[in-house]
Each structure stands twice: as C-alpha cells, then as structure tokens.
Amino acid sequence: MSIFHPMWLSIQLAAFTTVILILVGTPIAWWLSQTKTRWKPAVQAVVAMPIVLPPTVLGFYLLILLGPDGAIGSWWVQLTGSALTFSFAGLVIASCVYSLPFAVQPIQNAFESLPSQYLERAWTLGASRLDAFFSIVVPLSVRGFISGIVLSFAHTLGEFGVVLMVGGNIPGETRVVSIAIYDHVESLNYAAAHRMSLLLIGFAFIVLMAMFMLNRRWGAR
Amino acid sequence: MRVRAFIVSLTLVCGPVLAADTISVAVASNFSRPAALLAAGFTVETGVSVRISNGSTGKLYAQIVNGAPFDVFLAADAERPMLLEKSGHAVAASRFTYTQGALVMWSRDAPDCLAVLAQEGGGRVALANPQTAPYGMAAVEFLQAEGSWESVSARAVYGENINQTLQFVATGNAAVGFIAKSQLGAPQLPEPGCVWEVPAASYTPIEQQAVLLERAAGNANARRFLEYLRSAEARDILSRQGYGVSQ
C-alpha cells in the first residue's frame, strides 16, 4: 500500500467536506448572526454539539441512520442501489456532521462583528439582499471564511473515530490516512506508521501556518 | 511538597484498585464474553477479582510491548504470545493453547450464507482486519482456498476486530460476515437468517494461546488464573460457548 494513497483519500474527503460545509454552513451562520429568535441558543447548541460528543456517539447513530435500514441509508439504497455506510459518500456525510461547528462558528463570528450600518446603507442605495451579501458581507468576512475553510479541512483530515465506526476500512474508498496509520501501528509496521504520521504532521503544520499567514495579511488591510 | 502530597493521595486512591487480589487480563475481542464468564467463575472460587481489557490481538500485543499493565494475555492466535515469549515480555514456558476457535459465516437476513457469498453484488461481506485479527486471516484463507477471494475482496468491509465485524452484520450494514462461532451466543443478537460453519480444514487452525506476562512473573493469582483456564470447570464453560477444547 502506497503511503500517498490513504493521504490522497483523506485530502479528497476533506476537500469535499469543506466545500459542502461552506455552502451549507454560510446560510446557517448568517441566520444565526441575524436572528432574534429565542431559539437561537438551542440551534447554536445543536451546531456546536459535535465538538463535545465523542466520535463514538456520532459514529453509532450515523451507522444506524446511514445503514440500509436507516432513514437516510434506505432512501440512498433506493436511489443508488447501495448503502451509505462503508462508502466514500457516507464518509463525506459523516464528516460534514462531525466538522459542522468548525465551519459555522468562525463564519458566524465574522458576520456578527460586521457593523450593521454597512448593510443598511447598501440596502438604502438599492442593492438587493443577495447583492449586498456578496459585495459587502463576504469581502468583509474573509478572515472568518478562511478560518472556517482551514479548520473544517484540517478537522476532517484528523478524523478517526467516526470513520472507524462507519468506514469499514476499504482501501481506496474508506481507508483514510488516520485509519491506515492505526492499522500499521496495530500490525507493528512502525516504519510505515512513522512515514505516514510525519507526512501528516508536516501537512498539518503547513496548512495551519498558511492560515495564520493569510489571516495576518487580511487583518492588516 | 504539594506534588508529593498529591502523589501520596493518588497512591491512597489508586491503592485499592491495584491491590494484589485483582489481576488484569488482556483479552482478544472474540473471547470477551467467555472471558467474563470464566473470570466470574474464577472470582467465586478464589476471591480474586479479574479486570478485563478487550481489544484486537494485534492492538493488545502492541500495548503489551509498550508496557501496558496486564498480568495475563488471552490472545486469539498463537503467534503473538510466541513473539512476546521470544522478546521477554512473557514468562517462558507459561504459554499454552486455552481454546481452539471456529470460524462461521453468519447473516441476519439471508436464508443461505453461501448463496449470498457467491452472488455478485450481493451486498457487503464483513470480515475482521486480516492484518491484525486471526479470524480475519482465517476468513481470507478460506476464501482463497475456495477461489472466491478475488471477487469477494471487492465487496469486503473490515471490522477493526471480530466484535465490530459481527456488529456490521447484526446492524444489516453487511449482508454476510465471518465471525467466531462463540459470538453466536451473544445476547441481543438478532435471529440469524443463516449460520454456516466454515470447514476447519480450509484455514489454519485458530489456536488461541494464553501467556503469563513478565510483570506478573511472581504473581501467584495470575498463575492460578492460568491454571483455572485448564480446569474441568473452565473447559465446561468453554465448550458450552462454542469453543473447541484442545489437548
């Protein structure tokens, strides 16, 4: 087994997850930043829960939900003919749940720190809501987006417990780098475990450093 | 001073847990349920309590090599105990085969296990990770002997250990799975659609060996536990649980 194959799989998983989370997380973050409802703390708690819950809880319920008898899994079986568990698509869904707070929270924080006059001014000048959002809110929240992107990507890359429970360790499909490292450690193949771990350490360092550098540059403007 | 007071209080708190009348046993996942029964029998007979840690044989082995505080190791194979003996992590000549495992195919929904296995696109086939779990290796050997490994491996999913493998099948996530015969008696297990015992000749016998670990070399209770494993009472429990009793 090449050491790059599981790594590449992890990167693909993290990339898919991040794209979906930004698309799904941005409206959630926006709604949370604007809403006056008394349900806001409840919704915030739901979004933040994956931070607190052990991967075993998420993995347990995902296994049931995504399995061929589960609510989501059975629907997927009708659609595609195969179950979501033990599949790359299933891992993407699991990772989206698992990393949701890491996308939503930084973006929400950025939205909340925007002075509300900016938006009101844009509206009085006749900008549509969507136009105002993309030409004012998004550019001014770039730091939040960068943090959200990097954190959800990195958090998915470091995912282990959930994948162990719903992945089934299939080479090229669900054997991501953390699982491959675990396998190597268990079968006493420490040389391979070291190689993959060092690769991951280097990668994590570069990604995080890039985020902090970008943040500094955007912050200085 | 404060640190020392902390250590002293820690010793007081942990003292009872680590008392000499408790032994610590690392148990391969497939054997977790019988081990609990055996431990209970042993405690009744001797008053010594047994603390059990479950895991795959490979993981427990790695933990022992790296200093895990276990007194006895009940592995799912003979290889790992042998390696421990060679490397000095286990007491020489304490190693013996406590049971011989049997591999079965099990399905929750399908009425015919072999048919599901042969059917292309017949759903996932669950087996324990052959790299680390002896029952996984046995399943691969059987499939290779049958000539179906190549087609089956395309739809195989690997449990981290034999218990997770069973769980994959029991939850309906895999159509059929290779598990230990002893797992069939597990409570809460759904009614099986089919059970098929894999011919013992088609895989290397799963000699499950026990070994006394180095740190328990002078631990009389740990030795008594190993003796108990060979007793008539223990063999009786084992054969009722679907384990072959060798020797």
Q: What is the DSSP string of A138-196?
A: HHHTHHHHHHHHHHHHHHHHT--HHHHHHS---TTTT--HHHHHHHHHHTT-HHHHHHH
pLDDT digits (tens, 9 = 90+) for B30-56: 888 889 999 999 999 999 999 999 888
Q: Are B101 and B30 in contact (CB under 8 A)?
A: yes
Q: Which residue of B has its CA nearest to A164?
A: B160
- Rounded CA gap, A66 and A69, in Å? 8
Helices A4-34 and A190-220, packing angle to 10 deg: 40
Question: What are the pLDDT digits (tens) for A73-103?
Answer: 999 989 988 889 889 999 999 999 999 999 9
Cβ separation B157–A170 shorter than 8 A:
yes
Mean of all residue pLDDT scores within chain A: 90
Q: B51 - beta bridge partners?
A: B24
Give how far A119 is from chain B: nearest CA, Å: 50
Residue of A nearest to B133 (CA): A187
- Kindly report the pTM of this predicted structure: 0.79
CA-nearest of B61, B54, B63 to B85 is B61
ipTM: 0.72
Average pLDDT over residues A156-169: 91
pLDDT interval class at B20 (50, 70, 90) = low
Q: What is the pLDDT of residues A135-154, one digit of tens each?
A: 889 999 999 999 999 999 99
Taking an 8 Å cut-off on Cβ atoms, the answer to whether B158 and A168 are in contact is yes
With CB atoms and an 8 Å threshold, state whether B171 touches A83. Answer: no
Q: Which domains does chain B have, with CATH numbers?
A: 2-101+206-240 (3.40.190.10), 103-197 (3.40.190.10)
Report the alpha-carbon distance of residue A140 to residue A113 in Å, rounded: 10
Q: Which of B160, B166, B178 to mutate to test the interface with A (most CBs of A within 10 A)?
A: B160
Between A90 and A188, where is the model more confident?
A90
List the domains of chain A with CATH numbers.
4-220 (1.10.3720.10)
A68, A169, A188 member nearest B173 (Cβ): A68
Is B61 near chain A, with CB under 8 Å?
yes
Residue numbers in B near A63 (CB within 8 A): 171, 173
Q: Is pLDDT at A186 greater than 80 in this prediction?
A: no
